[in-house]
Structure 1
Amino acid sequence: MAAHSDDFIDPDSIGVNASTEPSIGELIERRLSRRDALRGLAGVGVAASLGSPFAVTDAQAQVNGPSTLTFKELAHTLDDTQHVADGYDMQVLIRWGDPIIGGGLEFDPATLTAAEQEKRFGYNNDYLGLYPMPAGNRSGDRFLMVVNHEYTNPNLMFAGLGSGRGAALKATKEQVAVEMASVGGAIIEIAREGAGWKVVPDSKYARRLTATTPMEISGPAAGHAKMKTSADPTGTRVLGTFGNCAGGSTPWGTWLTCEENFHFYFDGDAARLADTELGKRYGVAKATNAWGQHVDRFNFDKEPNEPNRFGWVVETDPYDPGSPPIKRTALGRFKHEGCTYALAKDGRVVFYSGDDERFEYVYRFVTSKAWNPNDRAANKNLLDEGTLSVARFDADGKVAWLPLVQGQGPLTAENGFATQGDVLVKTRLAADLLKPTPMDRPEDIETNPVNGRVYVVLTNNGLRKPDQVDKANPRATNDHGHILEIAPKDGDHAAPEGTWSIFLLAGKPGQDAGARYHRATSENGWLSCPDNIAFDSKGRMWIATDGAPSAAGVADGVYAADTLGFGRALTRCFYQAPTGAEVCGPIFTPGDTTLFLAIQHPGEDRNSTFEKPSTRWPDFKPGMPPRPSVIAITKKGGGVIGS
């Protein structure tokens, strides 16, 4: 989430990690001093003689350049609408407020109630996932689409609240109820219709998860003392999910939605927080919205343990509308950004996740048992047993996975970890003791299906101070982010170690210190603030950005690059979002013929309000505010995206 107003408290900048371990910025510079690190930044033998940052024009790059991507590159923009490369069509699939359950009246934000919103598509769509219909079908023409709904912008949802941080604190009890019904997630059924897509009306699979949906708690932290509340003395039942950012799936066909910035939903007197150490480490102190004013469980003076019941990964079966969502505590509690899987050589399942805050860590969870591809039911509780680890990135290019297991190393009762439940409720505190590497906002982490490597997206970190600049850390700040590449040892994702290198360092070449790409990158190919990524069937990376307008003065968008061959890390601009919006959840249909994107918080600009938004995308109708939406991009006349 990018900060746009002067009085906005950035949820990624609360600065609660006091680790003195070398940061990823320092380690990168050490790696860049070694000749072998440069292979991650330029195609071997390509454009070695280019003297300026943009020595290759767009036309030259398309005709003579090394990239396998042949679309005509889009110019950087920043205006009130969206843009895509020539030769492609864009279709709005579904918008905030569109009915998904039981029909409904035409959307009217002025009369919207919580009961109505629970039947409608939620706000600020983020992660997207596709599940073939029926299960196992390979036609690619019908899917269940799962969608995360991360947070709300009350000043753009409701009239009369004004702009800035104070707007959200003015929401009424009724407006808060609508907000709580707007977050969480959605399951919709979609089908190809001609050259485009449609939402299947009244699908029996259509479903909403909200901040009040009953959910189960499972795994080692279920029933833990710090998970119990007056409403749930067992610590095994909870209402709702929110802060749902990037997510993931499982090989047995379930949806993993990740609770990220949950801390700003809870209000109260921070000095009286029941466990001040735990509250401080997770940033639970002061709300930036009005939930705690109207709902007792969001006031930690009244329910001090309620914040501990969020920050988890939630598993939901999209094929079974009656099944309860389950918070899988074995995967740890932190501000999860993404939970994507790869298979170990012995059939166990490995899940990668980032803790999306400046100076936080990268994690990995390995199931205790192998998954059973022939018996879906046998995998039902596979996520309740396994080993959670945190990453240490060494200057010599080694990455080590450090197990977070009670009784091992410093994770003892004497240090406050008497049970594995303690380790998981207090994952950040447990990880601190193992001295992993503080990262620059680890967000999406994805495995390339072609080369088997793992890519860690680090959006930015502007908190590094000028007096920290030295040969090991040449940037006073990292405003533009970067992407790391991990090669598991022997290609086994469950191996205790691997190697890492730099795929790219974002920013504008020639202007932003440290920006490094393939030397053939054009003047429109550079990017800022990478966030989510996806891979097409050729193993090419598609990068969605969040924060580029503030950091670089260009719209957030989508950029594509080869990960192998002479065009490695040669990024090319494909899509640009409307002002205020970030791009999330890129995902391809089988065969790469459609690219779905989630366009989140359009109009989230300084001074933008319900009455006078900076854009009215996608409807552009008087009186209609901007509406977060999912779009589908296809090639005119059909064909493979990017070609």
Structure 2
Amino acid sequence: MTDRQKTRQRPTRRQNFGQTYGSVLAEGVSRRAVLKGFFASTALAAIGSASVPSVAKAAAESVSTLKFAELTRVRDNTDHWPEGYERQILLRWGDALFPDSPVFDLATLDGPAAERQFGYNNDFTAFIPLPHGSQSSDHGLLVVSHEYVDPYLMFPGLTDEDFREKLTDAQIRAIMAATGVSIVEVRRNGASWEVVKDGQYNRRIHMGTEMAISGPAAGDDRLKTKADPTGKIVFGTISNCNGGIAPWGTMLSGEEGAMDVFAGDYKTLPNQDLVERQGWDEEENDLYSVSRLEPRFKFEEDPNEWMKFDWVVEIDPFDPAAKPVKRTALGRFTHEGAQVALAPDGRVVIYMGDDDDFEYLYRFVTRDPYNANDRVANKDLLDNGTLSVAKFASDGSVEWLPLVAGQGPLTAEAGFATQADVVLNTRTAADLLGATPMDGPEGFIPHTGTGKLYVAMTENEDRLPAGGGDESETVNVANPRGPNPNGHLLELVPPGAPDKPDHAAEKFAWDVFVLCGDPAVPADECRYHPDTSANGWFTDPDNIGVDPAGRIWVTTDGPPPEDLADALYAMDTEGPGRALPKLFYIPPVGSECCSPAFTPDGTTLFVSIQHPGALRLGDNEDATSVADAGTNWPDFSDGMPARPSLVVITKQSNGVIGS
């Protein structure tokens, strides 16, 4: 999620759900009891009021499996990585992806040019080895999503106040092409990596790409538009945030915040209450002036077009001719991502977070098992299955409640006569089931080594203390701090052996893994390993990756302290170094690290760097134009704006990252 998206209005809510933290206390469950598993596994006492130990650095090096020299916090116009490592800029916004790609030139940039170049604000990043099915760490495909753009940080002469009026038609077309997804072949060449511009799989997907709509909502009257009277086709994908890779090698891209692109008076729509529940913001709309060129993005012109977005899109990177498919069975909400696991019986499980304050965690379990021997047989696997939502309990369990039309409160009288009703109005269906409202759920990653899941709650400054108001917005057992400006990490444990977890089970165990904040500030009430250094603590966790050695890597998004830059941290999940974070990489001022991804051998780390320069250097104010951006990284060239980029980090002598 972007800092811009964090300012959206909270969706309209109509009922009270969940438990307040006060009610949990009344049941005799203290915070220490809630965190019992955390403390037992790390042999900790409460350290929220303690200062960081002076011997933390030496202690951390002795107990952690991460042996790199931790960085010292800094906030400046460039990026930083540990001693003994190398950093390479592999791809920048506007770089060529094909032999015929035009040279990046802001003065002539338009839609056709941008469709042949690497997009803007790259987020989800994954490395898929080539040939497909191999474990190659030297050759593969990078699949990268491009979440959104900042026009006033792209084109000199624009500001955040006037860009909507000043954008030219060519610039709008370039913006439409700079979002979406890039698929590009890459290869290791000695100590560095290179783009294979004539790679047979190279592809750009953008706001104009034709896509299919499948699943329960396909063909529904509410998806029929002027451009598509069948309700089974859509042109484009928007706000591609995080995602996942299916076992058969397709990319699952989560659309998050598509409402921002639409314009007009939503009160002219027959279902304006659904617009409000989806997160419409009167101030953050028509962001790219796309409706000027594409009337379908204006409510008055086409009242159903907006419902064709905020889905999970499945893209086959191994078939450039294959039409992407929006899989409606997975529900409609602001999808941070779609991470994948397998149940013991072979069914596929998709984990999804709804990235807004007080929204929910979701899971989809396919009806049929994955066929490892026939890739084509998995083509429509995601069209049939059970969508469910999480409800946390104070006994340390979390239950997945099925979102099925006709079951429980999801009756025809309540507006859920068919499964299409459920997936088109997923948030309201989850409201009715009493799901647990969360603190901005973002990163959601299954750990293949232990079977556990890690979920990032980025932050929620609107969370109220116990007894402070509506129960849906006060603290609850899984979100125990109100307000919560620092965020936290949860650990979910499916039943079964670590090497064979049952991701399709109705109930999991859960625990708090980390409560973020500064250990030297008692009011933060944070919880880490006691050896956490003054550089290792963090706030606002976002994306999570797992390296081949089993450590998790956490990126942050929008930490509140003025001297705390977004960055990349790593920590063990088991053993004596559990929950002991170490600072590994710092991007330029205003940047956000996204989606740490590793080669199978762990010797290469790919990280996307988003919106560099979005803050002014020296203060915590948003940049308003190219002229006052905090950096023009990575080119540092006069007249060239900062360019979102994909960086590659390797250890000298081809060592394993982190070890």
> For this structure pair, what is the TM-score category when the shorter chain's length is used for normalisation?
over 0.9
The 5-angstrom pairing of residues 178-193 of structure 1 reads 178-193=174-189
Q: Does 1:595 align with 2:593?
A: no
Note the alpha carbon deviations across 1:224-245, whole angstroms, 9 max, x for none.
1111101111000000001000
Distance in 2 (alpha carbons) for counterparts of 1:170 and 1:15: 31
Q: Is the 8 A contact 2:9 2:280 kept in 1?
A: no
The correspondence for 2:147, drawn from 150, 166, 171, is 150
**Is the alpha carbon distance of 1:336 and 1:9 closer, same or farther for their aligned partners in structure 2, counting shifts above 3 Å?**
closer
- Where does residue 104 of structure 2 map in the other structure? 107
Aligned to 1:457: 456
The equivalent residue for 2:333 is: 334
| 1:534, distance to aligned residue in structure 2 (A) | 0.6
Residues 449 and 537 of structure 1 are in contact (CA less than 8 Å); yes or no, is this contact kept in structure 2?
A: no
Q: What residue in structure 2 maps to residue 82 of structure 1?
A: 79
C-alpha change, 1:24 and 1:317, in structure 2 (3 Å) is: farther
Q: 1:345 to 1:74 in 2, by over 3 A?
A: same
Separation of aligned partners in 2, 1:9 and 1:543: 20
Q: Does 1:505 align with 2:515?
A: yes
Report the alpha carbon displacement of residue 47 of structure 1 after superposing the two structures with TM. 8.3
> In structure 1, the residue corresponding to 2:274 is in which secondary structure?
helix
Q: Per-residue deviation at 1:68?
A: 1.2
- Secondary structure of the structure 1 residue equivalent to 2:612: coil
SS at 2:653 equivalent? coil
Aligned residue type for 1:89: E
The one of 532, 538, 549 aligned to 1:521:
532
Instruction: Give the SS at the match of 1:246.
Output: strand
| Correspondence for 1:353 | 352
Q: Separation in 2 of the partners of 1:305 and 1:50? A: 50
Contact 1:32 1:38 in 2 (8 A): no
Alignment CA distance shift 1:434-1:447 (3 Å): same
Q: Which runs of 5+ in 1 are unaligned?
A: none
Q: 1:95 & 1:611 partners in 2: Cα distance?
A: 20
Does 2:64 correspond to 1:67? yes
Give the distance between the partners of 1:48 and 1:277, measured in 2 at CA: 45
Would the aligned equivalents of 1:556 and 1:582 in 2 still touch at CA under 8 Å? yes
Give 1:265 deviation, angstroms: 0.7
Amino acid paired to 1:497: K
Provide the residue aligned with 1:212 in structure 2.
208
Partner of 1:635: 651
Residue 110 of structure 1 and its aligned partner are, at CA, apart by 2.1
8 A Cα contact 1:544 1:557, kept in partner: yes
1:45 aligned residue: 43
Alignment map for 1:311-326 (pairs within 5 Å): 311-326=310-325
Change (3 A) 1:567 1:281: same
Mapping 1:392-403, distance limit 5 Å: 392-403=391-402
Question: Structure 1 residue 183: deviation in Å?
Answer: 0.4
Matching residue of 2:471: none
Partner Cα separation in structure 2 for residue 276 and residue 32 of structure 1? 42
* Distance in structure 2 (CA, Å) of the matches to 1:27 and 1:265: 41
Residue 55 of structure 1, aligned match among 49, 53, 56: 53
Residues 636 and 31 from structure 1, CA distance in 2 versus in 1: closer, same or farther, beyond 3 angstroms? farther
Instruction: Encode CA deviations 1:538-596: one digit per residue, 9 max, x unaligned.
Output: 21110011112x45531111111110011110111111111111010111101110110
**1:615 maps to which residue?**
631
Aligned ranges for residues 334-483 of structure 1 at < 5 Å? 334-465=333-464, 468=467, 475-483=481-489
Q: How many residue pairs get matched?
A: 636
Deviations 1:39-68 (A, max 9, x none): 32575336899983311435413443x211
Which amino acid letter does the alignment assign opposite residue 238 of structure 1?
A: V
| Identity of matched residues, % | 47
Shift of residue 611 of structure 1?
Answer: 3.1
Does the Cα contact within 8 Å between 1:221 and 1:425 map onto a contact in 2? Answer: yes
State which of 156, 159, 162 in structure 1 corresponds to 2:159: 162
Rate the CA distance shift 1:195–1:467 in 2: closer, same or farther, 3 A.
same
Matched, 1:137 2:143: no
Q: How has the CA–CA distance of structure 1 residues 112 and 169 changed in structure 2, closer, same or farther, with 3 Å as cutoff? A: same
Contact 1:42 1:517 in 2 (8 A): no
User: Contact 1:19–1:438 (CA<8 Å) still a contact in 2?
Assistant: no
Taking a change above 3 Å as real, the CA distance of residues 108 and 389 of structure 1, as seen in their structure-2 partners, is same
The one-letter code of the counterpart of 2:410 is L
CA deviations on 1:326-367 (whole Å, 9 max, x unpaired) are 111111111111111111111101110000000000000000
> CA separation in 2, counterparts of 1:346 and 1:252?
16
Cα deviations by residue, 1:253-283 (Å, 9 ceiling, x for unpaired) = 1111110111111111132233111111002
State the SS of the aligned residue for 1:179.
helix
Bigger Cα displacement from structure 2, 554-563 vs 511-520: 511-520
Counterpart of 1:640, as a letter, is V
**98-107 vs 445-454, which deviates more?**
98-107
How far apart are residue 32 of structure 1 and its match? 5.3
Distance 1:211 1:113, change over 3 A: same
For 2:88 and 2:20, how far apart are their aligned partners in 1? Answer: 39
Aligned match of 1:177 = 173
User: Is the contact between residue 121 and residue 644 of structure 2 (CA under 8 Å) also seen in structure 1?
Assistant: yes
* Cα-Cα RMSD: 2.2
- SS of 1:480's equivalent in the other structure is coil
* TM-score, normalised by the number of residues in structure 1: 0.94
Retained in 1: the 8 A contact 2:102–2:113?
A: no
CA deviation vs aligned residue, 1:515-536 (integer Å, no higher than 9, x gap):
1111110111100110001111
Give me the TM-score of the superposition, normalised by structure 2.
0.92
User: 1:510 deviation in Å?
Assistant: 2.6
Counterpart Cα distance in 2 of 1:560 and 1:183: 29
SS at match of 2:350: strand
Q: 1:244 is matched with which residue: 240, 247, 253?
A: 240
Specify whether residues 476 and 392 from structure 1 end up closer, same or farther in structure 2 by C-alpha distance, changes over 3 A only: closer
Deviation at 1:488, TM superposition (A): 1.1
Structure 1 residue 411: deviation in Å? 1.2
Single out whichever of 333-342 and 462-471 deviates more from structure 2. Answer: 462-471
In structure 2, what is the Cα distance between the partners aligned to 1:79 and 1:15?
A: 36
Per-residue deviation, 1:323: 0.6
Aligned equivalent of 2:593: 583
Contact between 1:27 and 1:395, CA under 8 Å: does it hold in 2?
Answer: no
1:305 aligns with 2:304: yes
Q: Deviations over 1:149-206 (max 9, x none)?
A: 0000000111222135x53464233222111111010100000011111111221211
Which segment is superposed worse, 467-476 or 500-509? 467-476
Q: How far does residue 421 in structure 1 lie from its aligned partner after superposition?
A: 0.7
Tell me if structure 1 keeps the 8 A contact 2:180–2:237. Answer: yes
Aligned to 2:223: 227
Match of 1:488 among 485, 494, 504: 494
Distance in 1, Cα, partners of 2:169 & 2:507 = 50
Provide, for residues 57-105 of structure 1, a one-character-per-residue CA deviation record: whole Å limited to 9, x for no partner. Answer: 35413443x2111111111111111111211111001000001123333
1:283 equivalent to 2:299? Answer no
CA distance in 2, matches of 1:214, 1:356: 26
Q: Secondary structure at the match of 1:72?
A: coil
| CA spacing shift, 1:215–1:541, aligned 2, 3 Å | same
Instruction: Give distance in 1, aligned partners of 2:573 and 2:355.
Output: 24
The one-letter code matched in structure 1 to 2:595 is G
State the shift of 1:302 in Å.
1.0
Residue 398 of structure 2 aligns to which amino acid in structure 1? V
Provide closer, same or farther for how the CA distance between residues 49 and 269 of structure 1 changes in structure 2, counting only shifts above 3 A: closer
Check 1:168–1:480 CA distance in 2 against 1; reply closer, same or farther (3 A cut): farther
Query: Would you say the 8 A contact 1:503–1:569 is kept in 2?
Result: yes
Shift of 1:248: 0.5
Structure 1 position 137, deviation (Å): 2.1
What letter is aligned with 1:67?
A: S
